Amino acid sequence: MNWKRLVVAAGLGAVAGYFIKDQITNQQNVTPEKALKLAKNTFKQQGPVSGSWIYMKAEELVKNGLTYNVYRGGVTRTLDGDNKQYEFFVDAETGTIIDVAESALLNQ
């Protein structure tokens, strides 16, 4: 057996494994915890957040004719002594906030 060929083959295998791992890592979805953290940080830019939640299972959302795989969650903010609750949808693949709406039923 030629040791040089063995070393070259092992080196090529290691390099190929590294690039395959890198591609797989880049294609993984955002975790629900990270999606909640991103959303909370976005809301905190407008004022303090007093509570938050997120569903751990992704769901489909159709918006403007496009279908997204999203996490649904919400935050509570205290503005002028009143609690305001907002529901948001975060893209499970990119972490981008797709939609935000004030929760009318929860604010009564």
DSSP for the chain, written as a single string: --HHHHHHHHHHHHHHHHHHHHHHHHTSPPPHHHHHHHHHHHHHTTS---EEEE-SS-EEEEETTEEEEEEEEEEEEEETTEEEEEEEEEETTT--EEEEEE-TGGG-
pTM of the model: 0.69
pLDDT digits (tens, 9 = 90+) for 27-68: 568 899 999 999 999 999 888 899 999 999 999 999 999 999
The mean predicted confidence, pLDDT, of the chain is 83
